[in-house]
Amino acid sequence: MANPLKPIVLYPEDGSFSPPLALELLPYGLTLNKILINGDGKTHDIVIGPYVLEDHKKSRRFQNTIIGRYSNRLPVGNHDIEKGGSKEVVAPIANENTNVSLHGGPVGFDQAAFTPVDSINSSKLFTQKELTALIAHAPSATLFTHTSPAGDQGYPGELFIEVIVALSNSSRTWDPVTRERSLGSVILLYRAIVRSPNGTRVITPVNLTHHWGFNLDASYALPNGRTPDIKNHRLFIDAKHVLAGDRTLLPTGELVDTKSTTFDFSDPNPRTIGERYPDDGGYDHYWLFTSDTPRQPAHVPLKGLVDGHQDLITSIFSSTPRVQLISGKSDLKLLFSTNQRGVQFYSGGGLDESGTRKRIHGGSEIGPGYPSSSAAFLEFHAPHAAFLHAFPGATDENADTILSSDELYNHWVRLEILHTPVDE
């Protein structure tokens, strides 16, 4: 294919000479390299990243890349799985340490060159009815595909993936009460099917996400050149439990009540991330969303899609946000909606100034990189290791994340960006 580091730029089709929102994509790792916004007459990039594109290949930092085949941490070894009478063995490969396979294994999707497709109408996993509904809301969209062969990183079945990345124009006018104005939305739509080389029924675990890291103040580099941290950002998560983990952060299958703890971000008037910040390196935990908000299924019968009976697009643009990230300094608010069961919030404790950082964030080609706690990574996916645990409250049939060859993997995330002008 063409150079996988050649940027693809999306703009909302609103006719603006200087659009309030733009997105730069790289086929390599399906990287959301830049999310550029302009609400105050200045350009800001709200995701972290290296100074030059080539640095994405030099080291594996998971900065705004897709993650797969399976998000987060799995125990190394052979795991028997079964669904609908089909049986397989999943064998995650060690890469974080001898007992843990992280983000898909040694060679995950973050290192794959996704193939851009000329027209989203060439999609095999979205119906024309769905594509028409999507374009009506988000006219700027591009389609990417990738095929993961059977046995890739220890996972059974050939996985064929399509991802649509789209931008929508502002969905609302300026609100005179909240003084908020929408700058538009970024929409990620993931679809996948699993196939057997010999055409028989096959099953495999699938749990995709984007490992995007946000800093709404990063374009305001401090006088000493350091990137501001995200501890002054306010965070809301519609969740009352986090997954319990062992000392290697592998889930135990238990849930921990967050009420009155450092993990409680459920207050509608969000507190700052820095308030009650953990002393042991910050946050790297999975919050399970409350179940009182209807959730679109993550697995859909494949026959229904082929017959044209499924229309899963329209509700994306009317769903209630499950996560909010707010900065008082840049007057920005991010609203996240999704059909996934929860979010992994990682506060960037492992960032250690190695590598480089973007010029717009005060960086240079010789470093240093981003310091600790300078990004809020919000990764929307099902509970990690869900096919190995019966999590309390996870009673729906999709909770185990095992996809069969008669099903479609259906996952979406919408990020809406709001700005509050200081001069109004």
3-class SS at 312?
Answer: coil
At 224 the pLDDT is: 65
Kindly state the tokens that stand for 38.
């302009």
**Which stretch, 169-173, 293-297, 334-338, has highest mean pLDDT?**
334-338
Residue 424 lies in a domain: no
Residues 53-80, mean pLDDT to the nearest whole number: 95
Angstrom distances, CA of residue 54 to CA of 57, 218, 287, 423: 6, 21, 33, 40
- What's the pLDDT score for residue 157? 97
Q: What confidence score (pLDDT) does residue 13 get?
A: 66
Q: What is the CATH number of the domain that holds 372?
A: 2.70.98.10
Average pLDDT over residues 6-32: 85
| Domain-located, residue 2 | no
The pLDDT, as a whole number, for residue 55 is 93
398 confidence band (pLDDT: 50, 70, 90): very low
Q: Please provide the average confidence, as pLDDT, over all residues in the chain.
A: 90
Q: Which residues of 91-124 are buried (b: 16+ CB within 10 A; e: fewer)?
A: bbebbbeeebbbbbbeebbbebbbebbeebeebe
Higher pLDDT, 378 or 293: 378
Instruction: Report if residue 3 sits inside a domain.
Output: no
Give dist(CA 418, CA 20) in Å, integer. 10
CB burial string 33-63: b at 16+ within 10 A, e below: bbbbbbbeeeebbbbbbbbebebbeeebbbb
Alpha-carbon distance 10 to 166, whole Å? 8
Whole-angstrom distance, CA of residue 259 vs CA of residue 97: 32
Residues of the chain with pLDDT > 70, as a percent, come to 91
Q: Is the pLDDT of residue 369 over 80?
A: yes
- Highest-confidence segment of 10-24, 119-133, 201-215, 225-239: 201-215
pTM, 2 dp: 0.95
Domain carrying residue 245: 8-419
Calculate the alpha carbon distances from 58 to 52, 54, 62, 66, 106 in Å: 11, 7, 12, 17, 14
Q: Taking residues 294-306, what's their average pLDDT?
A: 82
Check residue 212 and give its pLDDT.
98
The yes-or-no verdict on residue 340 having pLDDT over 80 is yes
Longest dimension (CA), the chain: 64
Confirm whether 132 is domain-assigned: yes
Classify residue 71: in a domain, yes or no: yes
Confidence class for position 374, pLDDT limits 50, 70, 90: very high
Q: Which residues pair with 257 in a beta bridge?
A: 241
Give 155-204 pLDDT, tens digit per residue: 999 999 999 999 997 655 556 666 788 999 999 999 999 999 888 999 99
| Percent residues over pLDDT 90 in the chain | 73
pLDDT at residue 399, rounded to an integer: 60
Please report which confidence band the pLDDT of residue 268 belongs to, taking 50, 70 and 90 as the band edges: very high
Domain assignment present for 183: yes
Q: What is the pLDDT of residue 250?
A: 95
Residue 1 counted as domain residue: no
CB-CB contact of 249 with 96 (8 Å): no
Two tokens at 152? 């890739």
Token output for 121: 């109408």
What is the tens place of the pLDDT at every residue in 103-119? 999 999 999 999 999 99
CA-based radius of gyration for the chain = 20
What type of residue is 352? Answer: D
Q: List, in sequence order, the alpha helices (H) in 274-376.
A: 302-306
Q: What is the DSSP letter of 395?
A: -
Cβ–Cβ under 8 Å, residues 209 and 71: yes
Number of domains in the chain: 1
Q: DSSP characters for 363-394? A: --TT---PPTT--EEEEEESPTTGGG---TT-
